[in-house]
Amino acid sequence: MHQLATKRVKELIACGKVTLHHGNVAAMPIPDNSVDKVYHCNCYYFWPDLREGSQEILRVMKSGAVMVTTLRLQSLVYAASRGAIPPRNWHPDTYMEALQASRFTNVHMEEMTDRGINFQAIFATAYK
């Protein structure tokens, strides 16, 4: 996923508008209050501790910054029913509760469609 994202946004990376990170969400090598926007996809359900990951994301974000994650709930339900993803944290409500418990505001999920593909996007704002 990181390689594909790197390829797709290489121009934005080259001009300094985007920085991609691949690592442990609970220990990001990013200074406090330094990030304007956070986007992640297809990963929160693999985190060992949703609240710890949420708190670390909040730590690096500037006040008023927005975090977005995307998912395909239908695919998650199927993967969970087959045992393909960890059973504990896959549901978006569980993640949104962790975001709220970490003091994110305006936490909500929206139904989206892009190029005929239906998916969900979770939004949260960092206010400190």
Nearest-Å Rg of the Cα atoms of the chain is 15
Q: Domain tally for the chain? A: 1
Residue at 74 is within a domain = yes
Q: Are 60 and 109 in contact (CB under 8 A)?
A: no
Would you say residue 87 has pLDDT above 90?
A: no
> In the structure, what pLDDT confidence band is assigned to residue 12 with cuts at 50, 70 and 90?
very high
Question: What is the value of pTM for the model shown?
Answer: 0.88
Q: For residue 44, give the DSSP letter.
A: G
> What pLDDT, in 10s, does the model give residues 67-80?
999 999 999 999 99
Residue at 91 is within a domain = yes
Would you say residue 44 has pLDDT above 90?
A: yes
Residue at 88 is within a domain = yes
Residue at 116 is within a domain = yes
Would you say residue 4 has pLDDT above 90?
A: no
Domain carrying residue 109: 31-126
Residue at 79 is within a domain = yes
> In the structure, what pLDDT confidence band is assigned to residue 21 with cuts at 50, 70 and 90?
confident
For residue 91, give the CATH number of its domain.
3.40.50.150
